[in-house]
Amino acid sequence: MKYAEKTARGGLYVVTGMEFSGGRAYRDVINACIEGGAGIIQLREKNWPVSRVFEIGREVREITRKRGALFIVNDRVDLALALEADGVHVGQEDLPLQAVRRLVGSKLIVGVSAGTPEQALEAERNGADYIGVGPVFPTETKKDARPPRGLEILGQVRQAVSLPIYGIGGIKLHNVASVIRAGADGAAVVSAVVGAADIAGAARDLVTEIDRVKKSNHQTANHT
């Protein structure tokens, strides 16, 4: 099933980062994210040995399958295939998208990070299923993040491609509405949910805000 057929699962995309979780068990964090309405969980633990990521990934695969959330693996096509994930997400400096597609065929959703409209358009042409756009705002989560691109980049990418796009980078409850209004279909977050005292509550608040703005946008479009 193509990614576009699964977008009804919601606009909140949670990327893991256990250094922000306050020592809580991985299983508890993932369950709370999904309980709060996250439709997509990305396993991203860049500093862990691959063996540990694989073991945790098996647990995440079990939870997401049971609870109806999409499971995406960051960077590692081999892990995504071994874990029978729903998809893999690659950046501009990872394995090229065309090579990823040759490896996974149509079995996996493939997401691509883009920092410019040109990168997003190239990803669409080469078979990406969705685009992660950012960093939108300053972020402390990703230490090697590029300078923030601002909300304008979301509108530029929205004009360039027809794929679903997710804003990422520094997105919190107070600014998520602006991300959706600027053209994103959803928001990808790390610390805003994983680092919250009440993970499920934080996810629920973000989902509520995303849905509110989408509904408003839809109503506005119907009246123009």
Beta strands at 130-133 and 109-114: parallel, antiparallel or unpaired: parallel
Query: Rounded to two decimals, what is the model's pTM?
Result: 0.93
Residue 6: CA count within 13 A, CB half-sphere: 18
pLDDT per residue as tens digits for the range 198-215: 999 999 999 999 999 998
pLDDT per residue as tens digits for the range 113-142: 999 999 999 999 999 999 999 999 998 776
The neighbour count for residue 208, using CB atoms within 10 Å, is: 15
Residue tagged active-site, from 142, 172, 181, 214: 142
Beta strands at 109-114 and 165-168: parallel, antiparallel or unpaired: unpaired
Q: Any catalytic annotation for residue 142?
A: yes
Q: Any catalytic annotation for residue 44?
A: yes
SS3 179: helix
pLDDT mean over 74-92: 97
Residues 132 and 153 sit within 8 Å (Cβ to Cβ): no
pLDDT, position 35: 97
SS3 15: strand
pLDDT mean over 142-166: 90
**Band of pLDDT at residue 176, cut at 50, 70 and 90:** very high
d(CA 200, CA 38): 9
pLDDT mean over 214-224: 75
Q: Which homologous superfamily does the CATH classification assign to the domain defined by 9-222?
A: Aldolase class I (3.20.20.70)
**Band of pLDDT at residue 57, cut at 50, 70 and 90:** very high
d(CA 124, CA 165): 11
Domain segments of the chain: what residues?
A: 9-222
Residues 186 and 10 sit within 8 Å (Cβ to Cβ): yes
Residue tagged active-site, from 21, 61, 76, 113: 113
More confident residue, 217 or 222: 217
Q: Any catalytic annotation for residue 106?
A: no
Residue tagged active-site, from 44, 61, 149, 158: 44
